[in-house]
A and B are shown apart, each in its own frame.
Chain A
């Protein structure tokens, strides 16, 4: 491990943060860019993957590239969200704009590949077609529950439809859409999002037109709730730490980071678990005995999907977007 690759985590500053202008290059030796070499060194380890979260490591890749993935996932991977809400009736306490805003922010489970982009150049009347727009309806009327338990004060028991949830948004297929979304009808990714509360006599009736968009336009189109990375922590015990001191040393880290061996000497068990709280640097006792750092080319990615797509799919899409960008740049007349 070369020191050149470690971001130094010191008591009051972070050193050696920036990579060189020549990614993968180092002062000594021949590190000229070589795709084969990259292929050889580059690693992806998947720590875990659920339907909403993926955690994986990208190792030996340049910061710029890793950051590009993060940025693209947040703002440029397209997803579907409600854009125009047509109110037919809204007698709830929530104002039309706020209701529309809330509906817009509900993540929808739609495969964006099945949708086309809305052509902004067309007139607003014929801009929206069955190819690019999904219509969701919400029609709820709150009534008194005649069979409410006595002495109940819970509005959910007293009234019907007192709470309007995201699951009440119903897909209204148009044209080929019924066929297209046969296997996977459009629903809210989280059915339990509370949209509004109603009381008897109040009514909401609306149509929401959902289109394809990107996160940089509005956060509702972002397919991730967060996509980010952290650098792999490095703990370097310079001088051996033993005995009670080792126990105290262990306590400076989250559990499982530092182990104590049979000799009572502290060793780094799993640096990945460290949150880099820098607690150890606060204690004079360990002054000079430990060096903290982070590996600059080891990115621990964490992608949390809002539910529209699987997290890994979002990552793949970010690759595609990046590829398209590169393609575009390559075709640009500049620099030729």
Chain B
């Protein structure tokens, strides 16, 4: 046990959540305490989270979008010209979100504070201003700060008013300082754009189908204009290029010739180098080109041009076959490489590289790429998705604008000079509405990419603080859920440290939905051009200047920038070292990664966005660069995390570079015999925020940790500091939440100890009463009386008062009273204003908002009688409360929504004490329902008279193997006795042995097992009972929300059978299996009663002659009364017969006597 352990101080917590981490006396360590680099390097983690935070990736991405990407979009679409008036132009000069060009720096112009937007069902947004230059007549006019729409603002981004304000100001805005932000408020709901995982763009991926003998190299080219995929594929051992807009596969040699490499020798050099084995494999391809008699570039281009699928827009000139060919090679194939002045060489080299990768894979099938490798994946964040959407809307906006001015300019005579600005404002709603609609529905449909994605956004789950936080770190995969491939779902070794190894849902989305680990960063796009220049400075030979023969010569490494070959180097390791040195000194962005791939003899440099990376301590000469003095500076507050970066002590590695490094887990693993390059900052950062709540997860069976990750999000607890100010559809609060006795460092870092979801329950692991089988729990009634597991459920009820076109409107009317002047029963909860009084009890069938709608709302405005206006008649349309238990009115809000209609929200609250069947769970994936509630005097007690809050059956342990739970109990017990909070951090935490020693010191058994007395007989129990505190969570599944039974009730209209489901007061189905049982038992009369008499019995008239149904004892087919017999059949059967009849099938009933 650490000697510096001390009792937790119960002083008022400081305002700044993170400030505490840098207090002179921090977690029992004083400034003067000696620094042990091996142990204290974890201080880098809070420092990292201080600058980055858990949702920083969302914020960074959004900030990049509004600050950089928007400007790029504007530049790409800057001109609007008129087809009618060649003189006219409008040019966008600049774009800003949230502030005018004239406003003071730091202005954040948003509509209203976010919380007000939430309450009033508004969108939290900021105006988008553009500066334009356009012609009016002969004059050129500049116009600044023209609003073209409103941009939804991500909370806590740099356009948000919450950015950079302190906790006190946060409180003024009714915001929780611990809320991570990173979501949008659209129409009053909080929407998150989940991180999307996809295969990286503009990179070559080589795959092989060994059964079919196919090797293919593919690249998805993505530019602002379009997205297309190019393949280089083998067919009968010959290599072809395949592209969607080329109708047939083109032999690779012809493509290369079309791209200007006409010499066969050069083609061979570019693809195979001097390797005879590769040459043998490739040589067949020349024959094909020769057979087709394609020798020159022109022939090749003609060959390609003939096969291009032409989609011509009306009005564009028809191109010749040669031009088509040039167009195809220049812009269609591998679109992300731009061709200027018909300089095809770069593109030719790219295609040759693809062909070379195919040849290499043909030679050695192990050279394929792994699709599931995290280094081949990119994460798409809110900013990127927003930018796609905005560009689409902006283009639409411009084309609408153009159509509009064309219409006006066409008119030959105009009274006044035409001002384009007058018509630009008409469309400003399109951008606003488009953005709002996409975020609120989650449908991203972009015509230009043929993208049609649903479910991009999700409503932020506010079940508990953890569920909201867990949602912000979630990553969804584009991979289809229905396909049965295990690869994408499997745990990839390369996700170590980047993606949480435990946190994934069970069931269909298992392994496809992932979560970020604690210490990760997702890159944004970086400029490529300066890096390219730098490479040439560092001794990379420009690809355009290299002779083809030397390109693949021995020891020559290709240098690839974002997947494109830009040059070669003979000294790759020197190049890489130099490059890294520059990065470590901060000369280039810390997020640019570089690594060597010896198999491909290539050096890859990546600057693109969406790569996951994480910081690591640099090791030089077997010594970590971070020394005690640095950590001291950090502790004293002189240094922040960025100082470690700029001093070259810590650097970010992305997955590819990480796999090229040798990373020591602990300082003790620094081995002089191995060239260790980096040192891990903290091992527990392999887990994410949600898995970080589990104490001693490294002692648990791994699925248990995964289960807990799912359940931690369902736990009822504190939601945010502003939880009582929120009006959400459904919220759960715990009345007395406690921070766990056994914490983890992650818990402190994510402030779970400030917004906990659970209570420390004293648990006895023993059998009791038999009501604890199958994981059921025994609860102590006195504990419940004293507030254990008590929670509140608040539900929002929205009432809108509409206005109708005929000037009538909905009203709220006062209560009705009986003859004694007392309000009638349904109106008991109402106040004089017709709305529920705060604190009033609302029972089943009572009204909480006495709304009336006009009876003549449908009448037209024209038929409106003047005299009728005063005497509008209304009809009651009150909101009734329905529920098995009464609620209390918590809050009533009246407001006006943005379409000028009155908006009333009534918040109803229930306080619930645990009851039989409520679900509880520990933090180890051990869930159970309450099986019985026992009086305290009946429960066992120990020498001190302590009786357990919960009794858990020991059968829960052997098969689940949740050893962590046992250690949590012992650490918790030691903490209780010692007056300290213990740690159960992953790969660390308080040691079991130390904890057991504390137990012995305090007079308890070493094993944590106590001698208990039976509460019923008063005698000692014959076994020692494992007894101590375990943190228990109450889950949101409560009996009150699920209980359902019915004797009689509504029936479905069509089948006349009882309705289905609790919400419709449905019947309980006697299904096939139950039916089988009844048949097997022989209770046929019961079956008849259940299936027909109590369900949809119906009397029909059947004609025994024709077998069809008649009515009124009359057979319509036979036109007689003679053979008609009355009988009872299920209405559904009658319906089936009639439906069959309508399809020209005559089901005829043949009747016979049974007895």
Complexed CA–CA distance, A229 and B944 (Å): 8
Say whether A161 faces chain B, with CB atoms less than 8 Å apart. Answer: no
Name the residue of chain B whose CB is nearest to the CB of A224.
Answer: B945
From B261-269, B828-836, B934-942, B1068-1076, give the one contacting chain A: B934-942
CB proximity of B1024 to chain A, nearest CB, Å: 7
Q: What secondary structure prevails in chain B residues at the interface with A?
A: loop
Complexed CA–CA distance, A190 and B1004 (Å): 31
A225-282: which have CB < 8 Å to B?
226-231, 254, 275-279, 282
Contact of A71 with B735 in the complex, beta carbons under 8 Å: no
Say whether B1006 faces chain A, with CB atoms less than 8 Å apart. Answer: yes
Say whether A34 faces chain B, with CB atoms less than 8 Å apart. Answer: no
Name the residue of chain B whose CB is nearest to the CB of A67.
Answer: B1018
Complexed CA–CA distance, A67 and B785 (Å): 23
CB proximity of A220 to chain B, nearest CB, Å: 7
From A40-48, A93-101, A131-139, A143-151, give the one contacting chain B: A93-101
Contact of B785 with A95 in the complex, beta carbons under 8 Å: no
Say whether B1132 faces chain A, with CB atoms less than 8 Å apart. Answer: no
Q: What 1/0 mask marks residues of chain A from 46 to 90 whose CB sits below 8 Å from any chain B CB?
A: 000000000000000001101110110011000000000001001
Complexed CA–CA distance, A137 and B202 (Å): 75
Contact of B781 with A14 in the complex, beta carbons under 8 Å: no
Name the residue of chain B whose CB is nearest to the CB of A90.
Answer: B839
Contact of B1000 with A277 in the complex, beta carbons under 8 Å: yes
Contact of B1017 with A14 in the complex, beta carbons under 8 Å: no
Residues of B within 8 A of A194 (CB): none
Contact of A95 with B911 in the complex, beta carbons under 8 Å: yes
Say whether A177 faces chain B, with CB atoms less than 8 Å apart. Answer: no
Q: A74-B937, A231-B1020 are in contact. Are A276 and B943 (CB under 8 A)?
A: yes
Contact of B1003 with A254 in the complex, beta carbons under 8 Å: yes
Size category of the A interface is: 35 or more
From B781, B787, B839, B1004, A87 is in contact (CB under 8 Å) with B839
Residues of A within 8 A of B782 (CB): 215, 219, 222
With a 10 A CB-CB cut-off, give which of B12, B782, B943 has the most chain A CB atoms: B943
Name the residue of chain B whose CB is nearest to the CB of A216.
Answer: B935
CB proximity of B843 to chain A, nearest CB, Å: 15
CB proximity of B495 to chain A, nearest CB, Å: 43
Complexed CA–CA distance, A216 and B790 (Å): 19
Residues of B within 8 A of A305 (CB): none
From A5-13, A111-119, A179-187, A309-317, give the one contacting chain B: A5-13
Contact of A14 with B1022 in the complex, beta carbons under 8 Å: yes
CB proximity of B1013 to chain A, nearest CB, Å: 8
Q: What 1/0 mask marks residues of chain B from 1003 to 1044 whose CB sits below 8 Å from any chain A CB?
A: 111100001010101111111100000000000000000000
Complexed CA–CA distance, A17 and B1023 (Å): 10
From A9, A63, A75, A279, B1019 is in contact (CB under 8 Å) with A63
Say whether B450 faces chain A, with CB atoms less than 8 Å apart. Answer: no
Say whether B571 faces chain A, with CB atoms less than 8 Å apart. Answer: no
Say whether B786 faces chain A, with CB atoms less than 8 Å apart. Answer: yes
From A12, A13, A71, B937 is in contact (CB under 8 Å) with A71
Say whether B890 faces chain A, with CB atoms less than 8 Å apart. Answer: yes
Q: What 1/0 mask marks residues of chain B from 985 to 1005 whose CB sits below 8 Å from any chain A CB?
A: 000000000000001100111
Complexed CA–CA distance, A95 and B724 (Å): 10
Q: How many residues of B contact A (CB 8 A)?
A: 40
Complexed CA–CA distance, A51 and B1074 (Å): 64
Say whether B909 faces chain A, with CB atoms less than 8 Å apart. Answer: yes
Contact of A275 with B935 in the complex, beta carbons under 8 Å: no
With a 10 A CB-CB cut-off, give which of B1006, B1017, B1020 has the most chain A CB atoms: B1020
Contact of B945 with A227 in the complex, beta carbons under 8 Å: yes
Say whether B800 faces chain A, with CB atoms less than 8 Å apart. Answer: no
Q: A70-B937, A254-B1003 are in contact. Are A13 and B1022 (CB under 8 A)?
A: yes
Complexed CA–CA distance, A255 and B999 (Å): 15
With a 10 A CB-CB cut-off, give which of B782, B790, B792 has the most chain A CB atoms: B782
Residues of B within 8 A of A218 (CB): 785
Residues of A within 8 A of B944 (CB): 226, 228, 302
Contact of B1000 with A17 in the complex, beta carbons under 8 Å: no
Q: A71-B1015, A219-B785, A279-B1000 are in contact. Are A7 and B1006 (CB under 8 A)?
A: no
Residues of B within 8 A of A95 (CB): 792, 888, 890, 909, 911
Contact of A67 with B888 in the complex, beta carbons under 8 Å: no
Complexed CA–CA distance, A37 and B213 (Å): 100
Q: A95-B890, A219-B785 are in contact. Are A64 and B943 (CB under 8 A)?
A: no
From B935, B941, B1005, A228 is in contact (CB under 8 Å) with B941
Complexed CA–CA distance, A220 and B909 (Å): 24
Name the residue of chain B whose CB is nearest to the CB of A8.
Answer: B1020
With a 10 A CB-CB cut-off, give which of A70, A222, A228 has the most chain B CB atoms: A228
Residues of A within 8 A of B1003 (CB): 254, 275, 277
Say whether B817 faces chain A, with CB atoms less than 8 Å apart. Answer: no
Other 12 A-B pairs with CB < 8 A, given A96-B839, A276-B1011 = A7-B1020, A14-B1021, A64-B1017, A67-B1018, A95-B909, A98-B735, A216-B935, A219-B781, A228-B945, A229-B1013, A277-B999, A279-B1006
Sorted nearest first, the 7 A-B pairs with minimum C-beta distance are: A67-B1018, A228-B945, A275-B1003, A219-B785, A219-B782, A226-B945, A97-B911
Question: Which residues on B are within 8 Å of A, measured CB to CB?
Answer: 12, 724, 735, 781-782, 785-787, 790, 792, 839, 888, 890, 909, 911, 935-937, 941, 943-946, 999-1000, 1003-1006, 1011, 1013, 1015, 1017-1024
13 A–B pairs (Cβ distance < 8 Å), ordered by A: A14-B1023, A18-B1019, A71-B937, A95-B888, A95-B890, A95-B909, A97-B792, A216-B935, A219-B782, A222-B936, A228-B944, A230-B943, A277-B1003
